[in-house]
């Protein structure tokens, strides 16, 4: 049967509308102009540090409901696995449609056991969350040596090791950035880095510059916004993502283009809101980039 042009256009329009309900329609319809290539978003559970100890399973269910695909755990009062054990933790997250990709932990205690358990959970990374500001570079040099050793242990169990920065590693000591020293003196085959973008900004450094400078070394990041009206205590200047001063489309595009793999939301202060409300708002904001 022959169709005239008007009939064809009308019928094609109806068919295209129907395609909107198919999973594949994203490849047919115009893409979101803010999409930067992120596949999944994660949440650092420290964001919910006051809520998690009270009801770990209930809070994790709310994290999943908010739209997060991945989580990064931390070593709280109930341990990294929140009283469920490695197998139980992995299974519960799977039941919720989530996975644990990394965990912050005390790397000075029982590290090999933690690496073995992390592999059992399916983690990709164990992360050193903190060193603290030091008066000389020798401390950071020794830390780099220790990171290489921890990386060897992680490799033994099929996972990776990473270091998470704060502002202090982007503040010069004796004319050198500790971050530079640690990145140059760690073996890329053993050690990666997690960029906390908030703390890079708090140190008055440029996020994109550091991502470009060390392409392929920053594999994880913390997405945490910096207040437009900051106070003196940088630890309290964290706000909902999108309500601060960081240009997220720019930073995340550069991150994707320089090898970032895991995008993890974190928030440390909650002006005018609650932690659970904050994670929902942050997930909603981040959806535009998927």
Q: How far apart are CA 181 and CA 169, in angstroms?
A: 9
For residue 24, the model assigns a pLDDT of: 39
Give the confidence band of 19 by pLDDT, cuts at 50, 70, 90: very low
Q: Say if residue 73's pLDDT is above 70.
A: yes
**Span 35-289 CATH architecture:** Alpha-Beta Barrel (3.20)
For residue 6, the model assigns a pLDDT of: 39
According to DSSP, residue 108 is labeled T
Q: How far apart are CA 44 and CA 286, in angstroms?
A: 14
For residue 20, the model assigns a pLDDT of: 40
pLDDT digits (tens, 9 = 90+) for 245-286: 999 999 999 999 999 999 999 999 999 999 999 999 999 999
Closest CA relative to residue 44, chosen from 218, 265, 242, 241: 265
For residue 32, the model assigns a pLDDT of: 78
pLDDT digits (tens, 9 = 90+) for 160-195: 999 999 999 999 999 999 999 999 999 999 999 999
Q: Where are the domains of the chain?
A: 1-30, 35-289
Percent of the chain past pLDDT 90, that is, above it, reads: 88
Q: Say if residue 17's pLDDT is above 80.
A: no
Q: Provide CB contacts within 8 A for 269, sequence distance 6+.
A: 235, 236, 237, 238, 239
pLDDT digits (tens, 9 = 90+) for 117-147: 999 999 999 999 999 999 999 999 999 999 9
| 126 contacts 114 by C-beta, under 8 angstroms | yes
Q: Helix 85-95 crosses helix 111-121 at what angle (to 10 degrees)?
A: 30
Q: Provide CB contacts within 8 A for 200, sequence distance 6+.
A: 165, 167, 170, 206, 207, 210
Q: How many residues does the chain have?
A: 290
225: β partners: 239
- Residue 261 sits at φ, ψ, to 5 deg, of -115, -30
According to DSSP, residue 176 is labeled B
**Segment (H or E) for 103:** strand 99-104
């Amino acid at each position: 049967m022959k169709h005239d042009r008007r009939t064809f256009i009308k019928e094609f329009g109806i068919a295209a509308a129907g395609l909107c309900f198919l999973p594949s329609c994203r490849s047919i319809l115009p893409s979101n102009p803010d999409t930067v290539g992120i596949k999944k978003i994660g949440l650092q559970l420290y964001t919910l540090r006051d809520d998690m100890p009270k009801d770990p399973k209930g809070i994790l269910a709310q994290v999943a409901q908010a739209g997060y695909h991945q989580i990064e755990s931390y070593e709280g009062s109930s341990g990294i696995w929140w009283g469920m054990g490695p197998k139980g933790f992995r299974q519960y997250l799977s039941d919720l449609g989530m996975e644990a990709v990394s965990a912050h932990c005390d790397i000075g205690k029982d590290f090999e056991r933690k690496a073995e358990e992390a592999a059992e959970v399916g983690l990709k990374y164990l992360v050193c969350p903190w060193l603290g500001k030091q008066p000389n570079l020798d401390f950071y040099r020794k830390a780099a040596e220790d990171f290489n050793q921890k990386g060897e242990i992680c490799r033994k169990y099929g996972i990776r090791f990473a270091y998470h920065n704060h502002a202090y590693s982007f503040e010069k000591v004796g004319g050198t950035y500790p971050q530079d020293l640690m990145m140059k003196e760690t073996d890329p085959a053993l050690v990666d880095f997690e960029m906390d973008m908030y703390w890079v900004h708090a140190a008055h450094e440029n996020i994109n510059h550091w991502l470009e400078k060390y392409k392929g070394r920053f594999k994880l990041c913390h997405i945490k916004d910096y207040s437009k009206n900051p106070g003196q205590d940088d630890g309290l200047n964290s706000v909902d993502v999108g309500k601060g001063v960081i240009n997220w489309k720019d930073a995340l595009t550069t991150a994707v283009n320089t090898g970032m793999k895991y995008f993890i939301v974190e928030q440390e202060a909650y002006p005018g809101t609650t932690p659970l409300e904050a994670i929902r708002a942050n997930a909603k904001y981040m959806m535009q980039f998927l």
